[in-house]
Amino acid sequence: MKLDVQTLAAKKSGSVTLDDGIFGLEPRKDLLHRMVRYQLAKRQAGTHYTQERGDVKKTTKRIGNQKGGGTARHGNGAVSQFRGGGKAHGPRVRSHAHSLPKKVRAAALKHALSAKVTAGELIILDDAVMKAPKTADLKKSLGKLGLENALIIAGAQVDENFAKAANNIPNLDVLPSQGANVYDILRRHNLVLTKQAVTDLEARLK
């Protein structure tokens, strides 16, 4: 599969051949769904906590008499039905992460890349480098490319000037090639890969 390569000035700069085993698959929604759930679960802090009955310090003296009170025979004020009592089966500090096989994660990334190709939302850039960190200049370049909501994946290192210029633009993410992931690819309308990013991803996923 061949795609045209463009510069930041929206001019054609040759073409690149994409690996059909990575960019030419029929996207599977089930794999993408599993991977997004895996990523979102893993990033949850899991610091939610509330006091349960054993955590509340209250008197254990019997409330009222055993008989003749006309009410239930309560023996502890720390239970959930009393003011100040602990919550029954409340949330505890824990990790929400669950396992997902490495092969499934790799396959999901391939299908995410293929989904962008299928939808016509993939753009290949010659390079993501700027001479000066000027947001206005980058915004003008992105306008020429028709990009308003995009993820840009550079090579192994993101150009410092490019990263600084992109930092103030809403709905624009910039990642190095090793940071490419399914969730960030799917959450943006367009995916922009540099030629170096294409090489790095093909080497990573083959």
pLDDT band for 1, please (50, 70, 90 cuts). confident
Can you read off the two tokens belonging to residue 28? Answer: 């599977």
pLDDT at 59 over 90: no
* 71 and 145 fall within a common domain: no
Q: Please, which contacts does 65-69 make with residues 24 or more away whose CB atoms are closer than 8 Å?
A: none
Could you tell me the residue range of the domain that residue 121 belongs to? 2-45+98-205
Q: What is the pTM of this model?
A: 0.85
* 105 and 129 fall within a common domain: yes
* 173 and 121 fall within a common domain: yes
* 59 and 152 fall within a common domain: no
* 157 and 107 fall within a common domain: yes
Q: Please, which contacts does 77-82 make with residues 24 or more away whose CB atoms are closer than 8 Å?
A: 78/53, 78/54, 79/53, 80/53
